[in-house]
Amino acid sequence: MGSEIGLLKNIPLFATLDSPSLKKIRRVLKKETYKKGQTIIKEGEMGDSLFIIIEGEVEVLKGKAKEKVTSLRPYDFFGEMSILENKPRSASILVKKDSTLLRLYKSDFERLVNKYPNISFEIMKTLSSRIRETDLRLIKNLKKKNKELRKAYSDLKNLQKELLKTERLSTIGKVAGGIIHDLKNPLSVVKCYAEYIKNSKGVTAFLNNAASTILYEIDIILKMTREILEFSKGEYKLEKISVNVDKFVREVLLISNEELEKKNIKLHLHLNTDCKCEIDPQKMRRVFFNIISNASDAMKDGGELKISTSKNKKHVNIEFTDTGIGIDKETLKNIFEPFYSKGKKKGIGLGMSIAKRIVEHHKGTIDVKSKKGNGAVVTIHIPILENR
């Protein structure tokens, strides 16, 4: 009996009572054992008892989904609200670990509360603490839900944007396909005549230049239509091979260097990697040519273009730095948007969009940094080919 009285003294409800009082209380407490998984209390049923945990652990669950509210351990009590308010249980209690409880029936509880006011005070203290804990938990859950809602809203907006873009590109692709089909025959005829004039003997310099101009402009038209068709399809079939990055950059510049020299643009190479990547050479050349062309357009009165390579553990970085007129904030923000070509006299605004998509199909990234009047830096990051 003495050990049981000592046990009762450890329970906050009875901690202020003397031994004779605890002996009387012990007589009305019924010891019960419950196995893991058993339900002690069901939400919605009328309560007739208060329970005090001696050993084990139980969970407080709410709603049809049985959402966990909290866990209760030795010397915690539960079931008091239903008998205090004479209302149905507000939660269910499920045994998490085999438990030993002391059960106090409603009639005995009411007599004890009337006889020992300190019990009421301890109940109020516990309830106040639980309300405070519940408030903190609710605030935490609300913050979490709010964060989830913000993310869901952002994802929904992005999805809507992508759907609209996909629908627009699909429409453009269909229209472009029809237009290109109609243009193909007349363009082929014009191209054949221009080539005939250019290759004929005794043609004046004027006609030769005119034929060259016609061929050049036809190539531009065909390139633009191909860009629209490719971009509207959204997918690029890559034919990857292993290439040495520095060597590949030099090969690309063999083609571009002559045009850069004509525009009085000095080229600086800082190729510091000796590693390989898996790329589609044809498509990656297209990316490089587009970046170099944009840099060239930004340096109408000449300038400098620096191309450098570096690497880390996972990626090789190819950086293009020009001394051109730079890019304003609005253009920089929309630089990868399809058909955005502010301030450009040629092209249809797909170059950087296509470059970005090609790089991403290589599981890489591309970024642009610039300020108006301070040139631009375009960096491509591509995964290094692992040694096999």
Which tens digit of pLDDT belongs to each residue from 270-312? 998 888 999 988 889 889 989 999 999 999 889 999 999 999 8
* Spatial distance between the Cα atoms of 104 and 11, rounded to a whole number of angstroms: 14
The yes/no answer on whether domain 2-115 falls in CATH 2.60.120.10 is yes
**What tokens does 245 get?**
């990055």
* pLDDT value, residue 193: 86
Q: Is 115 helix (H, G, I), strand (E, B) or coil?
A: helix
pTM exceeding the 0.75 threshold for the entire prediction: no
Which DSSP string do the residues of 249-303 spell out, in sequence order? HHHHHHHHHHHHHHTTEEEEEEE----EEEE-HHHHHHHHHHHHHHHHHT-TT-E
Q: Is 230 helix (H, G, I), strand (E, B) or coil?
A: helix
* pLDDT value, residue 153: 82
The 3 state secondary structure assigned to 335-351 is CCCCCCCCCCCCCCCCH
* pLDDT value, residue 114: 86
User: Can you give the residue ranges of every domain in the chain?
Assistant: 2-115, 153-233, 241-383
What CATH number should be reported for the domain whose range is 241-383? 3.30.565.10
**347: Cβ contacts below 8 Å, ≥ 6 apart:** 224, 341
Contact 275, 387 (CB under 8 A): no
> What element of type H or E holds 305?
strand 303-311
Nearest to 79 by CA among 3, 17, 6, 130: 130
> What element of type H or E holds 167?
helix 117-199
Nearest to 249 by CA among 281, 202, 207: 281
At residue 351's C-alpha, the angle toward residues 363 and 299, to 5°, is 115
Ranges of residues in the chain with a pLDDT under 70 are 1-2, 164-166, 168-177, 179-181, 220, 223-224, 226-236, 341-348, 386-388
At residue 341's C-alpha, the angle toward residues 338 and 344, to 5°, is 155
* pLDDT value, residue 236: 65
Nearest to 54 by CA among 97, 1, 109, 107: 97
* pLDDT value, residue 348: 64
* Spatial distance between the Cα atoms of 194 and 217, rounded to a whole number of angstroms: 11
**What tokens does 192 get?**
């054949």
* pLDDT value, residue 388: 45
* Spatial distance between the Cα atoms of 345 and 322, rounded to a whole number of angstroms: 19
User: Residue 26 burial by CB count (10 A; 0-12/13-18/19+): exposed, middle or buried?
Assistant: middle
